[in-house]
Amino acid sequence: MKFVHIADIHFDSPFVNLSDKENLGDIKRLEQRKVFKKVIDYIKENEIPYLFIAGDVYEQKYIRKSTIEYMNQLFQEIPNTKIYISPGNHDPYIKNSYYNEFNWNKNVHIFGSTIEKIESESVDIYGYGFDDFYCTKCGIEDLEIKDKNKANILVIHSTIDGANLEEKQYNSIPRKLLEEKGLDYVATGHIHKLDYHTYENQKIVYPGSLISLGFDELGEHGMIVGEIDETTKLVKTEFIPLSENNFEEIEMDVTDVLSKDELVEKINDLETPQNQLIKIILVGKRNFEIDRYEIYKLLTNERIIKIKDHTKIKYDLEKIANDYTLKGLFTKEILQEKEKAKEEELEIIEKAVEIAFEALE
């Protein structure tokens, strides 16, 4: 049996603080729709019988009915594909959700807040959906595989091996428990980073978010295409990248840059691939005050959408310490402290110097 596995689309996400440029949120929302259509077109062209969507399909707070209608129209284009959705923490199956109120196409099945089994001749599909924005117990420990001659698949939004308190709020499930259940494939979501083929015979898979949603999700994003041999139960999976604009970060050392104009030239001269959205992280010792918003106005490279200033002021502390001023006396004390300081304390001392010098100006 062949299937496509996706998760974490986050339709109609507001993309707050993604960029200091206008309209990028609108561009990313259009990309969500375009990439989702690519998934449907792939299923149509390759006659894939199953589509598993492991949660966070949309943002409950921001989702528009028109977006739901768009999804459902695409689902109607693949009437022979059975679609299973497991609601997550961003799109829980609550009273006023579209999962509850919308008339979905007949090939769509949405799992509720108790583990459910859908049986067919060759495969049993189990699923569970969040019914709130948090989940601490889904009842997975009670799941029993009845027919091990079939392919057995679980579709669920979860944190595998969640360790800290926050992770445990989002349906934390021990990997060992899932492996002991004898499932042939676990289509899960919630973690936006791709996790497949990271260990031998991997059956618990995160496809990652369908598109890059921010600079904490670098690299390619897309879908998992899988096939389970119904005789041997051997699982073959392939990651297919789909995201049109991937996020990347570039560090730029400004220590030898002497002016704003020179910095702007250096940024504009960067070679950036057309499928990348770039965040520039400025580092090193700066020779002039950096105003990011002034730099944005002069950029010609549209792929650069964010600039972060992690630079430090360039000071000649030895020279300043020789001055008979309050700043000089302070600097002399600081140099003595630096000599005694541990390596991990140096950054704190440098920040203290910067704050103090600004106050003494």
Q: What is the pLDDT of residue 134?
A: 95
| Residue pointed to by tokens 């992770």 | 167
C-alpha to C-alpha distance for 131 and 146, rounded to whole angstroms: 26
| Span 147-193, pLDDT tens digits | 989 999 999 999 999 988 888 999 999 999 999 999 999 999 999 99
Question: 303 and 173 in one domain?
Answer: no
Q: What is the pLDDT of residue 334?
A: 83
Among residues 156, 162, 130, 131, the alpha carbon closest in space to that of 143 is found at 156
Collapse the DSSP code of 317 into the 3-class scheme (helix H, G, I; strand E, B; otherwise coil) and give the result: helix
Residue 135 vs residues 86, 179, 185, 354: alpha-carbon distances, Å: 13, 21, 22, 45
Task: Label the pairing between strands 2-6 and 222-228.
Answer: antiparallel
Average of per-residue pLDDT across 270-283: 90
Count the domains in the chain: 2
Collapse the DSSP code of 279 into the 3-class scheme (helix H, G, I; strand E, B; otherwise coil) and give the result: strand
C-alpha to C-alpha distance for 36 and 16, rounded to whole angstroms: 21
* Residue 328: pLDDT over 90: no
Task: Label the pairing between strands 123-127 and 116-119.
Answer: antiparallel
Question: 276 and 178 in one domain?
Answer: no
C-alpha to C-alpha distance for 315 and 312, rounded to whole angstroms: 9
| Span 72-98, pLDDT tens digits | 999 999 999 999 999 999 999 999 999
Greater confidence (12 vs 166) lies with 12
Contact 267, 304 (CB under 8 A): yes
Question: 179 and 139 in one domain?
Answer: yes
C-alpha to C-alpha distance for 57 and 13, rounded to whole angstroms: 10
Question: 100 and 34 in one domain?
Answer: yes
Question: 233 and 277 in one domain?
Answer: no
Contact 279, 309 (CB under 8 A): no
* Residue 219: pLDDT over 90: no
C-alpha to C-alpha distance for 335 and 316, rounded to whole angstroms: 11
Question: 265 and 160 in one domain?
Answer: no
Question: 230 and 150 in one domain?
Answer: yes
C-alpha to C-alpha distance for 226 and 91, rounded to whole angstroms: 25
| Span 184-212, pLDDT tens digits | 999 999 999 999 988 888 999 999 999 99
Question: 206 and 66 in one domain?
Answer: yes
The DSSP symbol for 135 reads B
Q: What is the pLDDT of residue 24?
A: 83
Question: 88 and 188 in one domain?
Answer: yes
* Residue 251: pLDDT over 90: yes
Which value, in Å, is the radius of gyration of the alpha carbons in the chain? Answer: 26
Percent of all residues in the chain with a pLDDT value above 70, rounded to a whole number: 98
Question: 302 and 279 in one domain?
Answer: yes
> Which of 215, 241, 267 is where one domain is finished?
241
Ranked by mean pLDDT, the top range of 70-79, 175-184, 234-243, 310-319 is 70-79
* Residue 361: pLDDT over 90: no
Question: 162 and 21 in one domain?
Answer: yes
245-273 CB burial, b ≥16 within 10 A, e <16: bbbbeeebebeebeeeeebbeebeeeeee
- Over the chain, what is the mean pLDDT? 91
Contacts of 61 (CB under 8 A, 6+ apart): none
* Residue 309: pLDDT over 70: yes
Collapse the DSSP code of 167 into the 3-class scheme (helix H, G, I; strand E, B; otherwise coil) and give the result: helix
Collapse the DSSP code of 189 into the 3-class scheme (helix H, G, I; strand E, B; otherwise coil) and give the result: strand
C-alpha to C-alpha distance for 200 and 212, rounded to whole angstroms: 27
Question: 316 and 196 in one domain?
Answer: no
Bridge partners of 156, per DSSP, are 188
> Which of 241, 257, 286 is where one domain is finished?
241
How would residue 358 be classed by pLDDT, with cut points 50, 70 and 90?
low
| Residue 15, domain CATH | 3.60.21.10
Average of per-residue pLDDT across 20-45: 91
Contact 221, 247 (CB under 8 A): no
| Span 83-142, pLDDT tens digits | 999 999 999 999 999 999 999 999 999 999 999 999 998 899 999 999 999 999 999 999
| Residue pointed to by tokens 């919308």 | 102
Greater confidence (131 vs 330) lies with 131
Q: Which domain holds residue 168?
A: 2-241
- DSSP-assigned letters across all residues of 325-357: SHHHHHHHHHHHHHHH--HHHHHHHHHHHHHHH
> Which of 241, 264, 283 is where one domain is finished?
241
